[in-house]
A and B are shown apart, each in its own frame.
Chain A
Amino acid sequence: MAIAAPERPTTVAAPRFVEASTPMLDARIPSGPLERKWIQRKFENKLVAPANRRRYSVIVVGTGLAGASAAASLGEQGYDVKAFFIHDSPRRAHSIAAQGGINAAKNYKNDGDSVYRLFYDTIKGGDYRAREANVHRLAEVSVNILDQCVAQGVPFAREYGGLIDNRSFGGAQVERTFYARGQTGQQLLLGAYQAMMRQVQAGTVTLVPRREMLDLVTVDGVARGIITRDLISGEIERHSAHAVLLCTGGYGTVFYLSTNAVNSNVTAAWRAHKRGAWMANPCFTQIHPTCIPVSGDHQSKLTLMSESLRNNGRIWVPKNVGDRRQASAIPEAERDYYLERKYPSFGNLVPRDVASRNAKEVCDEGRGVGDSGLSVYLDFRDDITRLGRDVIKARYGNLFEMYNRITGEDPYSTPMRIFPAVHYTMGGLWVDYHLQSSIPGLFVLGEANFSDHGANRLGASALMQGLADGYFVAPYVVPDYLASTKFGDAPVNHPAFDAAAISVRGQLDRILKVRGRTTPREFHRKLGHLMWDHVGMARNKRGLETVLREIPALREEFWRDIAVPGSADLKNQSLEYAGRVADYLEFAEEMALDALERTESCGGHFREESQTPEGEALRDDENFAHVAAWEFTGIGTPPVLHREKLQFEYAHPTQRSYK
């Protein structure tokens, strides 16, 4: 890639970041025993009397699981809720694509599950980089989420006796994952969407479709509204409220190719960051081991094959480097079921980061399969023989069809080919125990916050977290904020709204003025390559320093050469896209910096310099048992790093081992 390196400073290198000089913000974690913390806090929280609720207006940005469930729940309580989203319907949010399932500590299988075990597994799976109190709360409410969804009519899989069925999922040794065929996210989102639409009918929730939040408005240091662009008319609009809830999802598309929907973005979160909300652990990203491999340059997104497939499929590559024979021609003795070999107790069900890294390793050794050599087999032959084709079809029929449609190959007769792809972002805006960001009145829910998954998320836990935040946390913490805050006036003609609206308009005009030759997609693809190569599955100092030089150069090129036709006063998809890419070009730098600064390996963050003799991620608890929360100071000026120390009173950090 021909990107000119910027001029090197001749004097001593400027610091990349500044250590915070002020004490860390209070995360407001309740004292007392773990299992009493949330109960106690709910009791301490201030309440708003039913008759007063409609006087409080709440802006919800995003209507995925987190946003729709929050909007529905706050609407039911009687608040005046406005829900904004970039899609044409709230039901299109990216949550709709989740396939595998949702965890709940119901112990319906009598196999040893409990709230404490779900808590423990989540902390351990996150490689001891999440807060105990938050995670315990998540495990506690998981059981209520399931109840809620069933009552809404979510058609979960059932057993013949009429009870709900469940299964084990990605790395769990208990069966605690509930599912609706391969469409769990769709059905859960429809449940939340329908609950929200009921409130639309009741008049407490107003939908504002096809609106992109382009700025956060703060008045006297408190979040009081947002600036949006109407994606149909192009109009820049101002919306004022008493609280703002960001539920805008993850930033996986910073890698260009990922399993995320193509409109996923960091824009809302990044612009809030530029207004003062801290960004926590942005380098924590999850690479999912079971995706359909890339077929060519035209590729616009990657498709996930649910990891539930790993329950019945066996992962292997040829034992010999350069074995180009067809799968069926490779005899059993010449196949390497490398996960089963290296991790006998977990086998094909090791956590995602372990499975992904091992796939990269065998491909790096030259044992990868397919035309590009960048994939491994996921083979159902044995279980088709053992259980019959019908059983496999009942479990995975729709996934097999999807695979066939994309690749033209039939997984019943030839093993699937899979390769890791970016899937989820554990990092996100920093929030305290109340899900409030470093800006009072700005709450962050769902994948957009950093809160519960540490350095690696367990399968089926994102749906749980999004719904926990929206159904069972926001309805307690947002009212507490409203009841305990004295609000001044923040009309939409307030100077803070003027300034934000002008800055939004200015950025759109600036993009349109360039009339260059490089499309938003080309810039996005270039950035994605850089990020995948150096901030992807394995990271090292040299690579990270390289991207930290190349990103600013690419950003400069963007502002010199971006090509966006048309105007800002009409529907203009390339303008929308260019704005999102511009934000990624800023955000990516902070992400790489975070990865450079965290010299340990943990969870999905693998620093090659920090590994055990067996090549496993090696944590450095002494220096890194903290959340890295970054404060924005300007483009090209070093951000401020705030460190929130993590305390482990219950789940004591051990070296993760899945042997």
Chain B
Amino acid sequence: MIVAPALQGTRHHGMRIKLRVWRQAGPDAQGRLEDHQLDDISPDMSFLEMLDVLNERLIKAGDEPIDFDSDCREGICGTCGLMIDGRAHGPLPGTTTCQLHMRTYADGDTIVIEPWRADAFPVLRDLSVDRTAFDRIIAAGGFISVNTGAAPDANAVLVPKADADLAMDAAACIACGACVAQCKNASAALFTGAKVSHLSLLPQGSPERARRALRMVQQMDAEGFGSCSNEGECEAVCPKQISIANIARMNREFTRASLGGAS
């Protein structure tokens, strides 16, 4: 989606922004919101570059900078993720925190920045959280079992374009965790559903379809994620706009597997 000019806010040079940022020294420490004022923010800065500017200032003053995770800074690695004014990844649809630019805001705005909040994602420090629960869900069954060297020719199995496209839509998930953070139940159904869908839509994945759905769903529950109550908040904040149709597909796969008695 191309962002409409109306969403881009008014262009100001040297915007003044007030930040209220979550600070927490460690996993067990008490956290609190800390206020900061920035006076010279360029609308061309990304949101994280704005935090970089603040951190430079903190370091120079001998204070500890705000801890937050990021890496690719182009919306694909899934490392970044902040609750911005109560919305995962901020106000723009289909946009990760690192892709959000300050031109979205107006001079004088106040922005509240918090970490993802979910029991399954404990805070490590300030804005960074532990998302290893996602890896454990994948380990439980989010793969197609094929040893290196055991593959047939790439064109030996035909895949209808429509299926391949749907599988790709689901596979586009970047595992950032926004879905969990936005959900009032902290459910990981969209993340798990996307992987179940990606793999079950392809003929290569079909022999382990039932087992995969069962195991991944069981692991998801074991990690302490809540259950899905169909609010659709996850889809609304997903930076890759993964559809909740994937949750329905996962539920069908799970039901089918439970009835089929797969283990």
Q: Which residues of A contact B (CB under 8 A)?
A: 69, 72-73, 76, 87-92, 94, 96-97, 104, 106, 108, 144, 146-153, 155-164, 180-181, 183, 186-187, 190, 193-195, 197-198, 200-201, 207, 209, 232, 261-263, 295-296, 298-301, 303-304, 400-402, 404-406, 408, 410, 412, 471-472, 475, 515, 517, 519, 521-522, 563-566, 570-574
A378 to B224, CA, bound (A): 49
Q: Give 6 CB contacts A-B under 8 Å.
A: A76-B148, A91-B77, A147-B152, A152-B151, A261-B71, A301-B74
Please tell me if the beta carbons of A300 and B77 are within 8 angstroms of each other in the complex.
Answer: no
A160 to B163, CA, bound (A): 11
Indicate whether A151 sits within 8 Å of B72 (C-beta atoms), given known contacts A159-B161, A160-B161, A194-B144: no
Total chain B interface residues with beta-carbon distance under 8 A? 86
B39 to chain A, nearest CB (A): 14
Please tell me if the beta carbons of A158 and B2 are within 8 angstroms of each other in the complex.
Answer: no
Across-interface contacts of A410 in B (CB, < 8 A): 2
A147 to B161, CA, bound (A): 18
Q: Which residues of B contact A (CB under 8 A)?
A: 1-3, 8, 25-26, 42, 44-46, 48-50, 52-53, 55-56, 58-60, 62-65, 67, 69-79, 92, 94-95, 99, 101, 103, 124-125, 128, 130-132, 134-135, 138-155, 157-161, 164-165, 167-168, 171-172, 174-175, 198-199, 202, 204-205
Please tell me if the beta carbons of B159 and A162 are within 8 angstroms of each other in the complex.
Answer: yes
A70 to B67, CA, bound (A): 32
A180 to B101, CA, bound (A): 27
Please tell me if the beta carbons of A402 and B62 are within 8 angstroms of each other in the complex.
Answer: no
A405 to B175, CA, bound (A): 21
Please tell me if the beta carbons of B125 and A571 are within 8 angstroms of each other in the complex.
Answer: yes
Which residue from chain B places its CB closest to the CB of A104 in the assembled complex? Answer: B154
A150 to B152, CA, bound (A): 9
A148 to B143, CA, bound (A): 13
A410 to B8, CA, bound (A): 13
Please tell me if the beta carbons of A89 and B46 are within 8 angstroms of each other in the complex.
Answer: no
Known: A94-B72, A183-B172, A295-B42. 17 other contacts (CB 8 A): A87-B77, A97-B74, A97-B76, A147-B152, A150-B151, A162-B159, A296-B42, A300-B46, A300-B49, A303-B74, A304-B74, A401-B1, A405-B75, A405-B99, A521-B56, A563-B59, A571-B125
The 8 Å CB contact of A147, one of B154, B164, B175, is: B154
B59, B70, B101, B125 pick with most chain A CB within 10 angstroms? B59
Please tell me if the beta carbons of A91 and B175 are within 8 angstroms of each other in the complex.
Answer: yes
Number of cross-chain contacts by CB at 8 Å: 236
Across-interface contacts of B101 in A (CB, < 8 A): 405-406, 408
Please tell me if the beta carbons of B140 and A201 are within 8 angstroms of each other in the complex.
Answer: yes
B243 to chain A, nearest CB (A): 15
Please tell me if the beta carbons of B77 and A471 are within 8 angstroms of each other in the complex.
Answer: no
A286 to B95, CA, bound (A): 29
Indicate whether A89 sits within 8 Å of B132 (C-beta atoms), given known contacts A94-B72, A155-B171, A198-B143: yes
B167 to chain A, nearest CB (A): 4
B23 to chain A, nearest CB (A): 13
Across-interface contacts of A400 in B (CB, < 8 A): 2
B52, B74, B101, B205 pick with most chain A CB within 10 angstroms? B74
Please tell me if the beta carbons of A157 and B164 are within 8 angstroms of each other in the complex.
Answer: yes
Please tell me if the beta carbons of B159 and A573 are within 8 angstroms of each other in the complex.
Answer: no
A45 to chain B, nearest CB (A): 15
B112 to chain A, nearest CB (A): 22
Across-interface contacts of B65 in A (CB, < 8 A): 565, 573-574
A90 to chain B, nearest CB (A): 7
The 8 Å CB contact of A193, one of B124, B128, B130, B138, is: B138
Please tell me if the beta carbons of B95 and A300 are within 8 angstroms of each other in the complex.
Answer: no
Please tell me if the beta carbons of A151 and B62 are within 8 angstroms of each other in the complex.
Answer: no
Please tell me if the beta carbons of A106 and B154 are within 8 angstroms of each other in the complex.
Answer: yes
Please tell me if the beta carbons of B95 and A298 are within 8 angstroms of each other in the complex.
Answer: no
Please tell me if the beta carbons of B142 and A570 are within 8 angstroms of each other in the complex.
Answer: no
Please tell me if the beta carbons of A88 and B79 are within 8 angstroms of each other in the complex.
Answer: yes
Please tell me if the beta carbons of A148 and B146 are within 8 angstroms of each other in the complex.
Answer: yes
A570 to B71, CA, bound (A): 20
Across-interface contacts of A193 in B (CB, < 8 A): 138
Please tell me if the beta carbons of A151 and B204 are within 8 angstroms of each other in the complex.
Answer: yes
Which residue from chain B places its CB closest to the CB of A150 in the assembled complex? Answer: B154
Please tell me if the beta carbons of A197 and B138 are within 8 angstroms of each other in the complex.
Answer: yes
Please tell me if the beta carbons of A164 and B154 are within 8 angstroms of each other in the complex.
Answer: yes
Please tell me if the beta carbons of B74 and A94 are within 8 angstroms of each other in the complex.
Answer: no
A508 to chain B, nearest CB (A): 16
The 8 Å CB contact of B77, one of A96, A149, A181, is: A96
A234 to B198, CA, bound (A): 38
Indicate whether A158 sits within 8 Å of B52 (C-beta atoms), given known contacts A96-B77, A405-B99: no
Indicate whether A151 sits within 8 Å of B152 (C-beta atoms), given known contacts A88-B132, A406-B101: yes
Please tell me if the beta carbons of A152 and B2 are within 8 angstroms of each other in the complex.
Answer: no
A262 to B51, CA, bound (A): 14
Please tell me if the beta carbons of A151 and B168 are within 8 angstroms of each other in the complex.
Answer: no
Please tell me if the beta carbons of B135 and A90 are within 8 angstroms of each other in the complex.
Answer: yes
Indicate whether A151 sits within 8 Å of B146 (C-beta atoms), given known contacts A197-B138, A406-B99, A521-B52: yes
The 8 Å CB contact of B202, one of A155, A181, A519, is: A155
B119 to chain A, nearest CB (A): 17
